[in-house]
Chain A
Amino acid sequence: NAGVTQTPKFRILKIGQSMTLQCTQDMNHNYMYWYRQDPGMGLKLIYYSVGAGITDKGEVPNGYNVSRSTTEDFPLRLELAAPSQTSVYFCASSSDRAPQPQHFGDGTRLSIL
């Protein structure tokens, strides 16, 4: 029972580089989310999706892009990495919109140097 799987677990990028954080879930959940968590801070919603082909901005979307071509996958794209994007990124899914609790992946620790 894999749940929500994120790759990679760790990554170091140089300023200006781009990368994609992968997220996949095997629970057939319609709702998927990307959060970032800075040290000592609460989770902030970056983007979310209510189903394949539908995405929407969260609280802190600038500098990121997402796509949702399938129910299972919800990749997060950083086009021009900046030091302010150094954070831990969590992908989550749920079977219905909030207040349904969410299942989280293990996180991706990203450093921009």
Chain B
Amino acid sequence: RKEVEQDPGPFNVPEGATVAFNCTYSNSASQSFFWYRQDCRKEPKLLMSIYSSGNEDGRFTAQLNRASQYISLLIRDSKLSDSATYLCVVSTDKLIFGTGTRLQVFP
């Protein structure tokens, strides 16, 4: 089993839609969780950190379920500029990156 697993997608959604991604992790000792965004051929950039059960930042909501060992990212009112690959990242003593979920928002 991979340490961090994500559905690669792509998720194709219209502007204004709500879309959710899930990510599962295998190490129950994982302490911190992040969502990064990576545009095509660019470096990853931190989108959100999750230190407790979840948090919200504008149109983005991240949630953590420790019992089931998954985290989620919800994007409301999708914009064209949200098109990117979203990386789930889990931390024990180092960061473990998922392979990413690709989102394509169309007009």
Q: Measured between alpha carbons, how far is A26 from B42 in the docked complex, in Å?
A: 20
Q: Name the contact of A98 in the complex, choosing from B8, B44, B87, B93 (C-beta under 8 A).
A: B93
- B-contact bits for A32-55, CB 8 A (1 contact / 0 none): 000100001111110010000000
Q: Total A-B pairs in contact (CB under 8 Å)?
A: 51
> Does A42 contact B4, Cβ atoms closer than 8 Å?
yes
Q: Classify the interface of chain A: helix, strand, loop or mixed.
A: loop
In this assembly, does B61 line the interface, its C-beta being within 8 Å of a C-beta of chain A?
Answer: no
> Does B97 contact A98, Cβ atoms closer than 8 Å?
no
> Does B43 contact A107, Cβ atoms closer than 8 Å?
yes
- B-contact bits for A88-107, CB 8 A (1 contact / 0 none): 10100000011101101111
> Does A98 contact B99, Cβ atoms closer than 8 Å?
no
Q: Name the contact of B32 in the complex, choosing from A42, A45, A98, A105 (C-beta under 8 A).
A: A98
Q: How far is the CB of B26 from chain A (nearest CB, A)?
A: 14
Residues of B within 8 A of A (CB): 4, 8, 31-32, 34, 41-46, 49, 51, 87, 91-100
